[in-house]
């Protein structure tokens, strides 16, 4: 491989879900919190076929654009995180209860930097309908291995595939705990189950694995040691098997979180994430307006830089704008430790807009590669 982190320096890949066809699912976050029949538009009989076709489109869009690490676009996931933790043994995903995401343990000092809205822009209660832990957490067997196998078949060996799973800190904060009543016990159990899923993906040939950890942004305020430990448990043994691990942390989906701006607490969260055994940190960068100084918080970890703003109101970046963001990052991180990506998921953007943004990401990265004689 071109570097420890991937097939080459300044590799390009997408973070989160790819644009979803309107015929597949409802485009609103509020519906994503509801029942599957409310969210998915095809009837149950044809749902898997529709998800397969949407996945093929997502893969095709990435391959055509020229990305280096291709995902399946997460077209089968109603919620990126509950696709994993809501299906673990010991979790009741049917009888949901109101629960504050982040829970009583994490109380950010100032939430004004990420105001949460859904759908029509109305404010959302901090308590959301959530699966609850009702027994011992255990891995039920492979959850996303068939998804990875599908991705590999579609790629036909011509590209590397990357898979994403829920991170343990996000899982422990978004589950209503009616069994353990102890954050450490719940976190350890979730980490062990997710580690089993990660190794099942490694058995299937996955060599690039992303942990989605939006809730990690507040973990350092209340339980830093536990947050670090459960991340380490989740990735335990993967590096020895040749698996590169990324951890993605953001401010939240751009269609639901408005008014983003740089917050000092984000720096603290990055420093804590850099103290884990993760190989690289994927961070939202473009929309909040971060500058290269934030990269000093990641130490010697790799960086997956969000060089594309996912805000539905944002214009399509030019390749030169992307190149400028990457060149700024290169003042703090060498090219062998830098990848280029989107801020977060693009599932709520029209496919043509998402494709245009991805094309600019690839073209802007190529400009930088050429200037460094890396092509």
Task: Return the closest-CA partner of residue 215 out of 348, 103, 367.
Answer: 103
16 in a structural domain: no
Domain for residue 359, yes or no? yes
**Rounded to an integer, what distance in angstroms lies between the CA atom of residue 235 and that of residue 292?**
28
**Residue 43 to residue 49: CA distance in whole angstroms:** 10
- Residue 162 CA: distances (Å) to CA of 94, 181, 210, 241, 365: 30, 35, 7, 15, 19
If one counts every other C-beta atom within 10 angstroms of the C-beta of residue 208, the result is 25
Q: Is the pLDDT of residue 110 over 60?
A: no
Q: How confident is the model at residue 102 (pLDDT cuts 50, 70, 90)?
A: low
Distance between CA atoms of residues 33 and 121, nearest Å: 16
The number of distinct structural domains making up the chain is 1
What letter does residue 303 receive in the DSSP assignment? E
Structural Rg of the chain based on CA atoms? 19
pLDDT tens track for 255-285: 887 778 888 788 999 999 999 999 999 999 9
Average pLDDT, the chain: 91
Residue 234, Cα to own-chain centre: how many angstroms?
A: 15
Name which of 94-108, 196-210, 238-252, 312-326 the model is least confident about.
94-108
Report in angstroms the alpha-carbon separations of 24 from 153, 308, 353: 22, 25, 18
Domain assignment of residue 7, yes or no? no
Note down the domain range covering 143. Answer: 29-371
> Bridge-partner residues for 6, per DSSP?
3
- Pick the more confident residue, 263 or 244: 244
CB 148 within 8 A of CB 204: yes
* pLDDT tens column, 45-87: 999 999 999 999 999 999 999 999 999 999 999 999 999 999 9
21/37 Cα distance (integer angstroms): 16
Structural domain includes residue 41: yes
17: DSSP letter: P
Other residues' Cβ atoms within 10 Å of the Cβ of residue 37 = 10
Looking at residue 94, its pLDDT comes to 94
Is residue 44 domain-resident? yes
Structural domain includes residue 12: no
347 occurs within a structural domain:
yes
Instruction: Give alpha helix (H) positions in the chain.
Output: 29-32, 36-39, 44-65, 82-85, 145-155, 168-174, 183-203, 216-222, 224-234, 264-274, 319-329, 351-371
Of 26-35, 166-175, 325-334, 350-359, minimum mean pLDDT range? 26-35
Q: Which of 252, 266, 312, 314 is nearest to 116 (CA)?
A: 252
Place of tokens 């804590």: 272
CB 207 within 8 A of CB 160: yes
Q: Is residue 294 part of a domain?
A: yes
Q: Assign 99 to helix, strand or coil.
A: strand
Mean pLDDT value across residues 286-291:
95
The mean per-residue pLDDT over the stretch 191-197 comes to 98
Report, as an integer, the average pLDDT of 320-345. 97
pLDDT score recorded for residue 114: 45
> Residue 306 belongs to a domain with what CATH number?
3.20.20.210
Q: Pairing between strand 257-258 and 302-308?
A: unpaired
**pLDDT value at 375 more than 60:** yes
- pLDDT, position 100: 86
pLDDT for res 339: 98
Contacts (Cβ under 8 Å, ≥6 apart) of 242: 207
């Amino acid at each position: 491989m071109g570097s420890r982190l991937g097939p080459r320096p300044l590799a390009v890949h997408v973070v989160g879900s790819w644009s979803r066809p309107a015929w597949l699912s409802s485009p609103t976050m509020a519906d994503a919190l509801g029942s599957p029949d409310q969210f998915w538009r095809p009837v149950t009989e044809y749902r898997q076929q529709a998800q397969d076709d949407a996945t093929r489109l997502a893969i095709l869009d990435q391959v055509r654009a020229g990305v280096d690490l291709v995902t399946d676009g997460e077209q089968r996931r109603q919620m990126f995180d509950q696709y994993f933790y809501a299906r673990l043994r010991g979790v009741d995903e049917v009888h949901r209860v109101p629960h504050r995401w982040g829970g009583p343990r994490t109380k950010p000092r100032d939430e004004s930097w990420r105001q949460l809205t859904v759908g029509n822009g109305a404010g959302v209660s901090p308590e959301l309908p959530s699966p609850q832990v009702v027994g011992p957490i255990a891995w039920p067997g492979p959850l996303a291995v068939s998804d990875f196998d599908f991705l590999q078949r579609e790629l036909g060996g011509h590209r590397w595939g990357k898979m994403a799973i829920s991170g343990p800190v996000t899982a422990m904060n978004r589950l209503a705990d009616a069994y353990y009543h102890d954050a450490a016990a719940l976190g350890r159990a979730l980490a062990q189950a997710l580690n089993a899923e990660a190794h099942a993906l490694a058995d299937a040939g996955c060599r690039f694995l992303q942990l989605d950890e939006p809730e990690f942004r507040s973990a350092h305020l209340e339980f830093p040691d536990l947050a670090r430990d459960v991340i380490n448990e989740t990735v335990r043994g993967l590096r020895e098997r040749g698996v590169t691990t990324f951890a993605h942390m953001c401010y939240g989906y751009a269609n639901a979180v408005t008014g983003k701006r740089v917050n000092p607490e984000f720096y603290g969260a990055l420093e804590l994430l850099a103290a884990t055994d993760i190989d690289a940190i994927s961070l939202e960068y473009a929309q909040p307006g971060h500058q290269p100084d934030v990269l000093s918080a990641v130490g010697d970890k790799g960086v997956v830089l969000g060089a594309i703003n996912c805000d539905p109101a944002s214009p399509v970046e030019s390749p030169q704008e992307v190149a400028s963001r990457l060149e700024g990052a290169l003042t703090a991180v060498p090219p062998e430790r830098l990848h280029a990506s989107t801020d977060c998921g693009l599932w709520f953007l029209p496919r043509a807009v998402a494709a245009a943004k991805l094309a600019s990401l690839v073209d802007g990265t190529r400009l930088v590669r050429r200037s460094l004689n890396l092509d």
